[in-house]
Amino acid sequence: MANVTSISKKEIIELLSLKGSEQIELHRKASEIRRDSVSDRVYIRGLIEFSNICENDCFYCGIRKSNNNVRRYELTPDEILGAVDEAASSGLTSVVLQSGERRDRRFISLVTDSLRIIKQKYPFMGITLSSGEQDRSVYEEFHKAGASRYLLRIETSNEEHYNRLHPGAMSFRERIRSLHDLRDTGFQVGTGVMINSPFQIPENLADDILFFQTLDIDMCGMGPFIPHSGTPLGKVEYSAEESFNLGLNMIAVLRIVMPDINIASTTALETLSPAGRESGLMAGANVVMPQFSPFSLRDSYTLYDNKPLGSEDNRGFLDSLKEKIKSLGLIPVTENSGTSIHYIRRTQNVSTC
């Protein structure tokens, strides 16, 4: 059995709603659990958004296919390698390659070729991929070419809710199928949800936490929904404060119930509060992903309004991020790519209970 704590749905709903001093206490408890189970190390991964061309038409997402106001781009393998060079020369040993979703052969070859040349130059670079649903054989190809982690958010674990956020052409079952295929392929598997998204009720978020447990995930990246004005869900009523609190509490509760997984403190938290990334760490996260995409393209990867662009000075940005992490009493780590301890345990089948 993996290292998992059992908790009822009712308890989760109560914990998620905590505010004020009770919320601080919840985050403190989650931080303590993080320290005991995965240490105080915070892994830094360079995020490279290598293409914003997307076949999907998710109702919430700024780079959805139907948004004609996006300047579409796709980096070549050499340009992707250039962005990895930037990350490597700043001392990073872990990158995340993310893109819109496409299944054409050209795209698949672009990804595979890029993985190969990155691995050739940097054999020890940890590579996380986030390029959506693919056939199992494609996942196998990506894994063989050098990607070892894969992030694919389920967005919500409730099928009806999923169908209200996505067009009919997208299938909840297919996404679940993809997550299972990723696991069978040997990836460290990460998923996540959008928090406080339209039509969501508190029970959905509790179910999301239980879903993560059932799927026995290795990593999680989740963040608050933030409207994008050019999308069908761009004008929904929305409280930034509520979303921010829920975003932090989801991290804390997940850390408590799945102590040894990797949890990212995401850009969406930083969008809602200037120190949002640090708050996510204080709530129990242990991974951050500063951007290393070419600076001039960053504003074309606008998933939601006001997404921060980081800085043109990648190294300066990284240095200040490390300082901020240290000021929280945590340890920024760049020289070790930070394999999920949960993954190590489940693949070695070590009992921790």
List residues binding ligand SAH (CB under 6 A). 60-61, 98, 100-101, 130, 132, 152-153, 155, 194, 223, 225-226, 228, 268, 303-304
Shortest distance in whole angstroms from residue 344 CB to ligand SAH: 24
| Closer residue to ligand SAH, CB minimum distance, 82 or 232 | 232
Output the smallest distance, CB 120 to ligand SAH, in A. Answer: 25
Nearer residue to ligand SAH within complex by CB, 175 or 342:
175
Shortest Cβ distance from residue 231 to ligand SAH (Å)? 7
Question: What are 118's two structure tokens?
Answer: 């990155």
**Contact of 197 with 60, CB cutoff 8 Å:** yes
Q: Which residues 6+ apart lie within 8 Å of 326 measured at CB?
A: 332
Smallest gap from residue 319 Cβ to ligand SAH (A): 27
In this structure, are strands 331-333 and 46-51 parallel, antiparallel, or unpaired?
unpaired
**Nearest in space to 102 (alpha carbons), one of 61, 130, 143:** 130
Amino acid identity at 150 = Y
Q: φ, ψ for residue 76 (rounded to 5)?
A: -80, 165
Asked if residue 143 lies in contact with residue 187, where contact means CB atoms within 8 angstroms, the answer is yes
Q: Strand, coil or helix: what is 234?
A: coil
Give SS3 for 208. helix
Q: Minimum CB separation from ligand SAH for residue 81, in Å?
A: 21
Cβ nearer to ligand SAH, comparing 182 with 333: 182
Helix (H, G, I), strand (E, B) or coil at 105: helix
Give least dist CB 123 to ligand SAH, A. 26
Q: Which residues contact 228 (CB under 8 A, 6 or more apart)?
A: 60, 61, 62, 234, 302, 303, 304, 305
Nearest residue (CB) to ligand SAH, 3 versus 185: 185
97 and 128 in contact (C-beta within 8 Å)?
Answer: yes
Whichever of 260 and 270 has its CB closer to ligand SAH, that residue is: 270
Residue closest to ligand SAH (Cβ): 132
Identity of the residue, 94 or 243, whose beta carbon is nearer to ligand SAH in the bound complex = 243
Exposure string (b/e) for 118-142, b if CB count within 10 Å is 16 or more?
beeebeebbbbbbbbbbeeebbbbb
Least spacing, CB of residue 345 vs ligand SAH, in Å: 25
CB of 234 to ligand SAH, least distance (A): 8
Residue with Cβ nearer ligand SAH (51 or 286): 51
Burial class (CB in 10 A: 0-12, 13-18, 19+), 286: buried
Residue 111 CB, nearest approach to ligand SAH (Å): 12
Query: To which H or E segment does residue 57 belong?
Result: none
CA distance 320 to 316: 6
d(C-alpha 348, C-alpha 258), whole Å: 17
Cβ distance to ligand SAH smaller for residue 237 or 351:
237
Minimum distance, C-beta of residue 337 to ligand SAH, in the bound complex (Å): 20
CA–CA separation, 48 and 214 (whole Å): 30
Alpha carbon distances (Å) from 189 to 93, 105, 121, 270, 318? 19, 23, 25, 24, 26
Q: Is 248 or 333 the residue whose CB approaches ligand SAH more closely?
A: 248
Nearer to ligand SAH, 307 or 342 (CB): 307
